[in-house]
Structure 1
Amino acid sequence: MTLLHNPVLRGFAPDPSLIRVGDWYYVATSSFEWFPTIPVHRSRDLAHWEYAGHVRGAAPGGSLAGVPDSGGIWAPSLSWDGERFWVTYTVVRSVGTPYFDLDTYVSTATEVSGAWSAPRRVASHGFDPALFHEDGRLWLLNLQNDHRPGGRRFAGIVVTELDRETLAPLGRTRLLLQHDRLIEGPKLLRHAGWYYLVLAEGGTGWEHGVRVARSRELTGPYELDERPLLTTRDDPGVPLQKAGHGELVETPDGQWLLGHLTARPLHTPQGRRCPLGRETAIQAVTWDAEGWPRLRQGGWHPAVEVDVPTRPHPLPPAAPPEGLSWPWSSLREPPDPSWADTTSRPGWIRLRGRHGPESRWASSLLAQRVTEHRAEAEVTVEARPVTFTQAAGLVLWYNPEAYLSLDLTWAEPEGERQCGQQWRGTSGTGGRTVLSLVERDEGDTRQVAVVDVPVAAAVTLGVTVEGAEARFWHVRDGARTSIGPALDFSRLSDDHGSRLRFTGAMAGIHARDLVDAAFTADFTGFRLTCSG
């Protein structure tokens, strides 16, 4: 037996799709507006996981430009037909509207780290699709939506048979199940003569859960289990909250597991907040006398520590990333040498400034997931901004309406008013190079502190996160010097703000040049350390 500690994938790893192929277990997770698209991890013992690659080409045309924050690629479902990996997923192009405005795609590969086939669009009733393989037949499950006034946004689970080669629909789409409580994310399996629908229930927040339905026939009718398989909606004190969106997997020796999403909240004066986003956890499952799946520990609350039926198989230490590979991520497009250059100055990353932080089109930002409630990020930056429209620095990022940044930029001499881009000033000094600490929170951008720095020197920037507090600093004369007060890191979460949010906090580097898109900044020594 192996003891695993949940979450097994920590920090922004939501909507897990867990499968087993031979001795390996694989998990695919949502990537939303971020690249790489659909990261996949693998493990032999369920406790130790490594990045195994991602679904290259999942974004048609290689770009997610223009998709809204927390839009993009939702809830991929991974499967194996005995010869190939399959993945189905949805690209969501509107969030929070009556219309889903989405496209569902299918892609295949012989290896998760290899070449994936060009995505092909299939029937796009809703998000969180899944594929079911049986006796050479292929079925697509999905959620349907009724966008009409008075219609139900979550109007039931449907299934469509697809031609395995062309992916064209075979016959009509059938309704499997409707329920008064919100249900989505269907996964289908066959066990002991029953077809089981494993459903996400109650939305992806504090009311989230997993509910199971079953039928003797694939196309129904389905009966719902009277109780949830998994949820924490009844107890805010459970360490792993928001438990839901699950998938059942059988081990080689006939035991069963449940992969699911979860979150670890901070308890703040403003309520519970989860800046680490939604993460991936695994539970042990048994079947009761009536043939329903149950958590092995009893009840429906997730366990932090779980004994799983594997032999420990620790992975070798991960090699340092080459270039801008995982764990680096970028917004809406993969890193490109035209704006993220790692060759011109060996050991450095050169970012060319482009759009501002609220752009959905051309953000020069590279970031890594924050995975624990204690974290520290540090980087050295060298740049020569000559106008306030140029800036580069260190950022704690959730989305364009929630971030904290410490940037090397330009400002008028102290005491002179802001006069626009054509400023010449009266002092004759040409302005000054400064570090500017900015806090952004839903429509309100606040400059917290400004510190002068030498014009031509490289400067080391850092931030330390302790729970809900983030404290920025820079290195001066060999010592850390604080900049500004402690800022509220917990605002960088799904649970703050008035709009839907589905990702997680990131730490990284960025640059902008709003006029010429020519300003460059060089970064070296980026370090992100996270500890529980």
Structure 2
Amino acid sequence: MPPIRNPILPGFNADPSILRVGNDYYIATSTFEWFPGVQIYHSKDLANWDLVVRPLTRKSQLDMRGAPDSCGVWAPCLTHDGDKFWLVYTYVTRKDGSFKDSHNYIVSAPSIEGPWSDPVYANSSGFDPSLFHDEDGRKWFVNMMWDHRRRPRAFAGIALQEFDPAAGKLVGPRKNIFPGSKLDFVEGPHVYKRNGWYYLLTAEGGTSYTHAATLARSRDISGPYELHPQTHILTSKDAPGAALQKAGHADVVDTPDGKTYIVHLTGRPVGHKRRCVLGRETAIQEAYWGTDDWLYVKNGPVPSLYVDVPGTHDDAKYWAAQHYTFQNGLHKDFQWLRTPEPERIFSISPQGSLALTGRESIGSWFEQSLVARRQTHFSYDAETTISFFPADERQFSGLVAYYCRYNFFYLTVTAHSDGQRELNIMRSENSYPEGKLDVPWPEPVPIPNEGKVRLALSIRGGMRLQFFYALEGERELRKIGPVFDASILSDECGGHQAHGSFTGAFVGVACSDINGTAASAEFGEFWYRPVKDGGDRYEGL
């Protein structure tokens, strides 16, 4: 079989945790402030992956209203103990400054589709938890420790404590089992057992260009742990020209025939500013166990763009245009922000349209009506049709390319203060910490007070964004506004430019009514069309 091309989960799919049950593989990835929480994908061949469930769907499991950008659900770990699935995750309510308020929870389910339980609270001492099921039946909860004093480091090491599922809590002493290497920022722990050794795989170096996966081992789960001869078994930190950058935060899986693979976080920068416009993605590498009982990445530690796996990737599916209609509800590709009460922000109208209820302003951390899907290609077109009849400038709705409250482009149907409907482009480009709209605004375009409006955008090479529109009855789209710098929809520009922005670019629809009268906008369809334009060397264009 020909090798597949990384990443296996393109677009915002960070912090992968992989699991095999029989012949089925599953990967769980972080969702941060996007609801429902945690993405779980399924595959039979490690090449083709389908989203099968987002398990955190209820208010009793997750309510992120008020959580800042890039907080929310961090680094889930998915395991199976032979009886049921277990998922551990962190809910972060604050990440900036000296403190990180991070609360760790455990849920379980008899099958991957659920039903998933209400969460069991574990602790709040750090983040990136995992659950290890030992051969003797004991379960161990592992997470990084955060020290606000920074004595000597804020990333204070990896903690181990037993979890009692019958009691529903952590029991016994907590021990710091691994301080990390000199690279610092030790996090993302996973424990494995093989040939009498306990292996501890961690992420280090932050989550940007110095990221790495570090391996250590011990004869006792509580340590002491010795470092791998290479220290970092996977990293791009010393290979700035590699196609896959930011390699780290990894997890290990074995195939039924005994081969070993590592899935890991990665990013693909574009332009001279090296911005990863598709966010942090998931890639895979072949690995092997040496005669010294250490794990090595094949052709590593720098990750390979092309990798042999059991399956062949379906490129036609990857490049297929996606036409979304809403008669049967919201497609699984879409998510919304923070709230576990989606009925307050969207519904399906009797006509089968997606009806957004105008709530707070674009970029609100509490309740904004924004429904969107991931950007998974460097070049694409998006289009929708809107029915919206605003009364004034405080009601606006339309098509948005969104990263966070500080970085978005938003083509809106709104009205002047005299009630005349018009098209306006709102944008926020690197507005942290104020979160202001950029001025001057592009000149508004008056439009009739009746009729639907087609709204569209194109992004090319992850770098250039152009908006378009057409009035009802018109076939040809017309440009509106200038060409914008789409690369600001990236981790490097998310308000915290080093190791602090963690999500990815989305495209979708939004509606705000800051009069508080809950004006409604209806969207009859949504198109997402990948474009092969020769603009990106990593997609083989």
Q: Does TM, scored on the shorter chain, surpass 0.5?
A: yes
**Match of residue 434, structure 1, among 422, 427, 441:** 422
Q: Which runs of 5+ in 2 are unaligned?
A: 532-538
**Match of residue 391, structure 1, among 376, 396, 401:** 396
C-alpha contact 2:406 2:495 (8 A) present in aligned 1: no
1:87-486 → structure 2 map (5 Å cutoff): 87-134=87-134, 135-148=136-149, 150-179=151-180, 180=182, 181-227=184-230, 228-268=232-272, 271-296=273-298, 298-308=299-309, 310=310, 322-334=328-340, 336-346=342-352, 348-412=353-417, 430-441=418-429, 442=431, 443-446=435-438, 447-467=441-461, 468-476=463-471, 477-486=474-483
Change (3 A) 1:307 1:94: same
C-alpha contact 1:50 1:315 (8 A) present in aligned 2: no
The Cα of 1:432 is off from its aligned counterpart by 1.7
Alpha-carbon distance in structure 2 between the residues aligned to 1:326 and 1:73: 18
Q: Which moved more, 1:488-497 or 1:162-171?
A: 162-171
Q: How many residue pairs were aligned?
A: 510
Q: Which moved more, 1:490-499 or 1:373-382?
A: 490-499
C-alpha contact 1:439 1:448 (8 A) present in aligned 2: no
C-alpha contact 2:146 2:155 (8 A) present in aligned 1: yes
Provide the secondary structure at the position in 2 that maps to 1:273: coil
Partner of 2:10: 10
C-alpha contact 1:48 1:315 (8 A) present in aligned 2: no
Q: Output the amino acid matched with 2:397.
A: A
Provide the secondary structure at the position in 1 that maps to 2:48: coil
The Cα of 1:55 is off from its aligned counterpart by 1.2
The Cα of 1:454 is off from its aligned counterpart by 1.1
**Structure 1 residues 6-31: Cα deviation after superposition (integer angstroms, max 9, x where no partner):** 11111100000011000010000001
Partner of 2:492: 495
C-alpha contact 2:358 2:513 (8 A) present in aligned 1: yes
Q: Provide the alpha-carbon RMSD of the alignment.
A: 2.0
Provide the secondary structure at the position in 1 that maps to 2:493: coil
Alpha-carbon distance in structure 2 between the residues aligned to 1:311 and 1:502: 30
Change (3 A) 1:110 1:71: same
The Cα of 1:352 is off from its aligned counterpart by 1.1
Change (3 A) 1:448 1:34: same
Alpha-carbon distance in structure 2 between the residues aligned to 1:313 and 1:281: 13
C-alpha contact 2:155 2:187 (8 A) present in aligned 1: yes
The Cα of 1:4 is off from its aligned counterpart by 2.5
**Structure 1 residues 317-351: Cα deviation after superposition (integer angstroms, max 9, x where no partner):** 799674114101000024633431213322x1111
Q: Which runs of 5+ in 1 are unaligned?
A: 413-429
Provide the secondary structure at the position in 1 that maps to 2:487: helix
Change (3 A) 1:149 1:242: closer
Q: Structure 1 length normalisation: TM-score?
A: 0.92
**Structure 1 residues 379-412: Cα deviation after superposition (integer angstroms, max 9, x where no partner):** 0111111111000000000011100000000114
Change (3 A) 1:316 1:435: closer
Q: Which moved more, 1:514-523 or 1:124-133?
A: 514-523
The Cα of 1:5 is off from its aligned counterpart by 2.1
The Cα of 1:189 is off from its aligned counterpart by 0.2
Alpha-carbon distance in structure 2 between the residues aligned to 1:176 and 1:241: 29
The Cα of 1:313 is off from its aligned counterpart by 8.8
Q: Which moved more, 1:135-144 or 1:313-322?
A: 313-322
Alpha-carbon distance in structure 1 between the residues aligned to 2:107 and 2:61: 14
Change (3 A) 1:503 1:254: same
Provide the secondary structure at the position in 2 that maps to 1:377: strand
**Structure 1 residues 475-501: Cα deviation after superposition (integer angstroms, max 9, x where no partner):** 253211111110011101100254221
Alpha-carbon distance in structure 1 between the residues aligned to 2:80 and 2:443: 53
Provide the secondary structure at the position in 1 that maps to 2:94: coil
C-alpha contact 2:396 2:413 (8 A) present in aligned 1: yes
C-alpha contact 1:58 1:119 (8 A) present in aligned 2: no
Provide the secondary structure at the position in 2 that maps to 1:448: coil
Alpha-carbon distance in structure 2 between the residues aligned to 1:158 and 1:439: 43
Alpha-carbon distance in structure 2 between the residues aligned to 1:224 and 1:305: 28
Q: Output the amino acid matched with 1:482.
A: K
Q: Output the amino acid matched with 1:142.
A: N
Partner of 1:421: none
After the TM superposition, list the runs of 4 or more consecutive aligned residues in structure 1 that deviate by more than 6 angstroms: 313-321
C-alpha contact 1:324 1:335 (8 A) present in aligned 2: no
Change (3 A) 1:61 1:123: closer
Change (3 A) 1:171 1:306: same
Alpha-carbon distance in structure 1 between the residues aligned to 2:449 and 2:334: 29
Provide the secondary structure at the position in 1 that maps to 2:253: strand
The Cα of 1:264 is off from its aligned counterpart by 1.1
Provide the secondary structure at the position in 2 that maps to 1:220: coil
Partner of 1:64: 64
Q: Output the amino acid matched with 1:206.
A: Y
Alpha-carbon distance in structure 1 between the residues aligned to 2:404 and 2:108: 31
Q: Which moved more, 1:124-133 or 1:73-82?
A: 124-133
Change (3 A) 1:97 1:145: same
Change (3 A) 1:144 1:58: farther
Q: Output the amino acid matched with 1:496.
A: C
C-alpha contact 2:390 2:414 (8 A) present in aligned 1: yes
Alpha-carbon distance in structure 2 between the residues aligned to 1:466 and 1:394: 17
The Cα of 1:226 is off from its aligned counterpart by 3.4
Partner of 1:419: none
Q: Structure 2 length normalisation: TM-score?
A: 0.91
